[in-house]
C-alpha cells in the first residue's frame, strides 16, 4: 500500500479537526515547533501542511502571531488532490454518499476503450455513480474498467460505495496515480435531471485515466460536476 506524504497526513488530520469543530473559527493552532514535536516530523513538513491548509482556505497565517482557523470558503474540489471523492473535497467520508445507477458489463465508448488499451469487441465493466455532498447532487461519474482486471465488479456492489476500496479489497489492486483532463460541457437532459440543473447548464467535465502501482491502466472515467462546486488547483515548489 502506498503511503501518503507526511505533510498530507498532517493536513488531513488538522482539516478533520476543523471539520469536527475541535478546532473552531478563530482558534489559534499550535506553533510549527509544537506541531513538529507532536507529529514527530520536521518544521518544513509542518510548514507544507499548513501551506496546503491555507491554500484550501481553512486557516490564515499572520506574521508574528500564528496560524488561525479562518472563515470557511465555499467548498471546492481539489483537482490535484488524488484520492477518494471525500478526500478530493477535503470533507469527512460521512459527508459524501454515492448512488450506483449502473454496474454491468458493456462495450466502452471509444475514448474509454482507447485509454484502457482495449481492442475492438473487448468488454469492460461500467459503473455509473451519482455523487452527493451532504445530500445534494454535485457530480455524475461514469467509470470503465477492463473486465479481466476486475471481474468481481460484474457480480457485486461496491464496498462502502467506493470503487477504489472495492478494487483494493477484492482484487488486490491499488490505484497509485491518475492523469486528468478538464474541459467544459453542457448538461444533457439526463445529466440535468440527475444533477438537478437546467438542460444546457454549464458543467465541468473531467476525463481521468487511473493507473495501478505496476503502471497498468485501471480505470477510464468521465465525470460531470456542477459549477457551484468549482475545481481548485494549488502549485508550489
Tell me what pLDDT residue 201 has: 92
Task: Find the mean pLDDT for residues 190-202.
Answer: 93
Give the angle subtended at the CA of 16 by the CAs of 11 and 22, to the nearest 5°: 120
Domains in the chain: ranges and CATH:
6-69 (1.10.10.10), 77-232 (3.40.1410.10)
Residue 110 has pLDDT above 50, yes or no: yes
**So what's the pLDDT on residue 230?**
55
Quickly list DSSP for 92-159: -GGGEEEEEEEEEEEPPPHHHHHHHTPPTT--EEEEEEEEEETTEEEEEEEEEEETTT-GGGGTS--G
Q: How confident is the model at residue 139 (pLDDT cuts 50, 70, 90)?
A: very high
Q: Give the pTM.
A: 0.63
CB atoms near residue 58 (< 10 Å)? 22
Amino acid at each position: 500500500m502506498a503511503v501518503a506524504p507526511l505533510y498530507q497526513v498532517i493536513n488531513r488530520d488538522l482539516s478533520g479537526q476543523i471539520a469536527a469543530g475541535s478546532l473552531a473559527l478563530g482558534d489559534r493552532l499550535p506553533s510549527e515547533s509544537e506541531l513538529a514535536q507532536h507529529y514527530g516530523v520536521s518544521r518544513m513538513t509542518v510548514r507544507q501542511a499548513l501551506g496546503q491548509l491555507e491554500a484550501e482556505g481553512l486557516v490564515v497565517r499572520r506574521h508574528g502571531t500564528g496560524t488561525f482557523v479562518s472563515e470557511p470558503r465555499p467548498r471546492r474540489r481539489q483537482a490535484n488532490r488524488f484520492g477518494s471523492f471525500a478526500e478530493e473535497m477535503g470533507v469527512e467520508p460521512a459527508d459524501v454518499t454515492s448512488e450506483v445507477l449502473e454496474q454491468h458489463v458493456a462495450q466502452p465508448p471509444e475514448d474509454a476503450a482507447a485509454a484502457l488499451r482495449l481492442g475492438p469487441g473487448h468488454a469492460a465493466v461500467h459503473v455509473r455513480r451519482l455523487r452527493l455532498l451532504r445530500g445534494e447532487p454535485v457530480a455524475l461519474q461514469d467509470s470503465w474498467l477492463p473486465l479481466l482486471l476486475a471481474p468481481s465488479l460484474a457480480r457485486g456492489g461496491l464496498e462502502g460505495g467506493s470503487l477504489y476500496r472495492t478494487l483494493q479489497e477484492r482484487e488486490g489492486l491499488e490505484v497509485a496515480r491518475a492523469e486528468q483532463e478538464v474541459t467544459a460541457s453542457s448538461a444533457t437532459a439526463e445529466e440535468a435531471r440527475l444533477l438537478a440543473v437546467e438542460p444546457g447548464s454549464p458543467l465541468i467535465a473531467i476525463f481521468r485515466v487511473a493507473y495501478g502501482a505496476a503502471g497498468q491502466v485501471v480505470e477510464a472515467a468521465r465525470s460531470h460536476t456542477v459549477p457551484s462546486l468549482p475545481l481548485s488547483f494549488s502549485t508550489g515548489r
